[in-house]
Amino acid sequence: MSITTADDVRLTAALQYASDQKDQAIDSLKSFVRIPSISTEKSARPEMERAAAWVGGRLQQLGAQNVRTFQTEGAPIVYGELLKASPEKPTVLVYGHYDVQPVEPLGLWESLPFEPEVRGEHLFGRGASDMKGQILAVLTALDALAQTGGLPVNFKFMIEGEEEIGSPNLDKFIIEHKELLASDFALNPDAGMIGRDYPTITYGLRGLAYFEIQITGPDHDLHSGLFGGVVHNPAQVLCELIAGMHDASGRVTLPGFYDRVRQLEEAERDELRRLPVDEIYYRRQTGCSRFFGEEGYSLVERASARPTLEVNGLYSGFTGEGSKTVLPAKAMAKISCRLVPDQDPFEVREQLSQYLHDHTPPTVRSELTMHSAGYPSITNLDHFAVQAMQRALEATWGVRPLVRREGGSIPVVASMQKYLGIESVLTGFSLPEDNLHAPNEKLHLPTFERGVQALVRFFTYL
């Protein structure tokens, strides 16, 4: 169109403002990354408070009202609201998390995880991409809009500190604050994109059921020379139990595991085939030359639309340098399942419990603990906010965004559907090569800047 409207002028001004402020945005992000808010570490509690206070402070700088830090049994949840647009305008509930993954093995980091450093086009640091950088993108877009034509819609914020440990206290908070949180939809920028040239909206998320299995045999560590051959070795039993959890075709053997799995429709499989994610992509991301998985499904399907069972950790006996001839008293595994609609994490717990009951030999004892549970979810692609995001991404990148299902888990999406009755728009500007959950996490700064521009457009288009 050749006609320039007042809206266009405001949008152009906001985009320019955001562009001009990019150095300040990165400085602000650095100060956020410097807070080591690792939610798995109970001793990091004061850091969680600091990170929550940082978020609350930034919301207040933006002019947010009713900014509150809600204490939970774990890390606090930050709430705030910017209800300055007309009441007829929609209210967006911005979701985010200020907690980050653990950093070990520390020796593999090229710069310290909590001393953010720009090298080339990247900002390195734990949380730079997942997801302190994503929160900053939203705050920067809002600041640009506020400083130019004003905020076009209304906002509420719910920024939690326990996403990386499965959000154990979030559901309770949502249930107890339904009215406070009432909104038209949620924006969740924690879902990332497929590649720097592929803006992406995620419409399906896998759920998570995270377990710890402990096998106990003798009542203390034994000398493997004196008792080897007689005492059933808990580490061997654990390995045998884990080995039995997949069959030869790569399928999970827990009883009933696939009963509730929604089969992929042919039309959806066609869509997924269009994603630019082939074996070469996976080779580049992982360093693997050959892949594995459930027979009958493509790599993309296995990684996003099919359920899995993975070993996340193993520990038993002597793991130091050299040799120690111990027959360990105990062996531990961390095991998690990614779930797809309509699996239920608590049913999976029962299935794993049944499997252990059926297969643990009488020579040892097994103990099962569930560390976190999140339901899988599917978002409606026809929702007005999803449509606005598609337009905003296309206007920014110049290509039609991809829609995909995601292999990771964002349980809050299912919780918001369930308790607040709202859909989530899932996007984000983290890249697969950002080393999320690994050493040398990094944020691609040009993509971050484009993300800010896309968010400015998105809020304007609503």
Binding of residue 275 to its own copies (CB under 8 A): no
Nearer to its own copies (CB atom), residue 372 or residue 415 = 372
Residues 366-385 interacting with its own copies (rule: CB under 8 A):
371-372
* 8 Å CB contact between 417 and 383: no
Binding of residue 195 to its own copies (CB under 8 A): no
Burial 51-61 (b: 16+ CB within 10 A, else e): bbebbbebbee
Residues 111-150 interacting with its own copies (rule: CB under 8 A):
none
DSSP 369-430: EEEEEE--EE--TTSHHHHHHHHHHHHHHSSPPEEEEESS--HHHHHIIIII---EEE----
Task: Give the strand pairing for 200-205 and 330-339.
Answer: unpaired
Distances (CA, A) of 327 to 214, 223, 235: 15, 6, 9
Binding of residue 296 to its own copies (CB under 8 A): no
Q: Measured from the CB of residue 295, what is the shortest distance to its own copies in angstroms? A: 12
| Alpha-carbon dihedral angle through residues 49, 51, 56, 59, given to the nearest 10 degrees | 180
Q: Measured from the CB of residue 446, what is the shortest distance to its own copies in angstroms? A: 22
Q: Which of 49-57, 281-289, 379-387, 390-398 is the region at the interface with its own copies (rule: CB under 8 A)?
A: 281-289
Nearer to its own copies (CB atom), residue 28 or residue 360 = 360
Nearer to its own copies (CB atom), residue 156 or residue 206 = 206
Out of 362, 380, 382, 398, the only residue in the binding site for its own copies (CB under 8 A) is: 362
Binding of residue 165 to its own copies (CB under 8 A): yes
Out of 60, 286, 357, 381, the only residue in the binding site for its own copies (CB under 8 A) is: 286
Binding of residue 268 to its own copies (CB under 8 A): no
Task: Give the strand pairing for 207-216 and 402-406.
Answer: unpaired
Tell me the longest C-alpha to C-alpha distance in the chain.
Answer: 89
Nearer to its own copies (CB atom), residue 91 or residue 129 = 129
Size of the site for its own copies (CB under 8 A): 96
Q: Which of 123, 405, 121, 269 is nearest to 113 (CA)?
A: 123
Binding of residue 180 to its own copies (CB under 8 A): no
Cα separation, 253 vs 235, in Å, equals 20
Out of 294, 342, 344, 394, the only residue in the binding site for its own copies (CB under 8 A) is: 294
Nearer to its own copies (CB atom), residue 169 or residue 435 = 435
Q: How many CA atoms lie within 13 A of 309 on its CB side?
A: 23
Binding of residue 81 to its own copies (CB under 8 A): no
Nearer to its own copies (CB atom), residue 230 or residue 267 = 230
Token readout for 431 is: 């890249």
Out of 189, 217, 341, 376, the only residue in the binding site for its own copies (CB under 8 A) is: 217
Token readout for 411 is: 């349980």
Residues 12-51 interacting with its own copies (rule: CB under 8 A):
40-42
Q: What is the sign of the dihedral through the CA atoms of 317, 113, 131 and 302?
A: negative
Binding of residue 312 to its own copies (CB under 8 A): yes
Binding of residue 359 to its own copies (CB under 8 A): no
Nearer to its own copies (CB atom), residue 316 or residue 453 = 316
Nearer to its own copies (CB atom), residue 13 or residue 299 = 299
Q: Measured from the CB of residue 272, what is the shortest distance to its own copies in angstroms? A: 13
Q: Measured from the CB of residue 459, what is the shortest distance to its own copies in angstroms? A: 28
Q: Which of 459, 451, 457 is nearest to 131 (CA)?
A: 451
Q: Measured from the CB of residue 180, what is the shortest distance to its own copies in angstroms? A: 28
Residues 93-112 interacting with its own copies (rule: CB under 8 A):
101-102, 104, 108
Nearer to its own copies (CB atom), residue 318 or residue 346 = 318
Cα separation, 132 vs 99, in Å, equals 8
Cα separation, 198 vs 194, in Å, equals 6
Binding of residue 336 to its own copies (CB under 8 A): yes
Binding of residue 396 to its own copies (CB under 8 A): no
Binding of residue 407 to its own copies (CB under 8 A): yes
* 8 Å CB contact between 177 and 157: no
Binding of residue 239 to its own copies (CB under 8 A): yes
End-to-end CA distance of the chain: 19
Cα separation, 40 vs 371, in Å, equals 11
Binding of residue 240 to its own copies (CB under 8 A): yes
Out of 214, 236, 353, 387, the only residue in the binding site for its own copies (CB under 8 A) is: 236
Out of 47, 190, 406, 423, the only residue in the binding site for its own copies (CB under 8 A) is: 406
Q: Which of 236-244, 259-267, 416-424, 445-453 is the region at the interface with its own copies (rule: CB under 8 A)?
A: 236-244
Q: Where are the beta strands (DSSP E) in 28-171?
A: 65-70, 77-82, 91-97, 117-119, 122-124, 154-160
Provide the phi-psi class of 398: left if phi over 0, else alpha when psi is between -120 and 50, else beta: left
Q: Measured from the CB of residue 372, what is the shortest distance to its own copies in angstroms? A: 6
Cα separation, 456 vs 157, in Å, equals 17
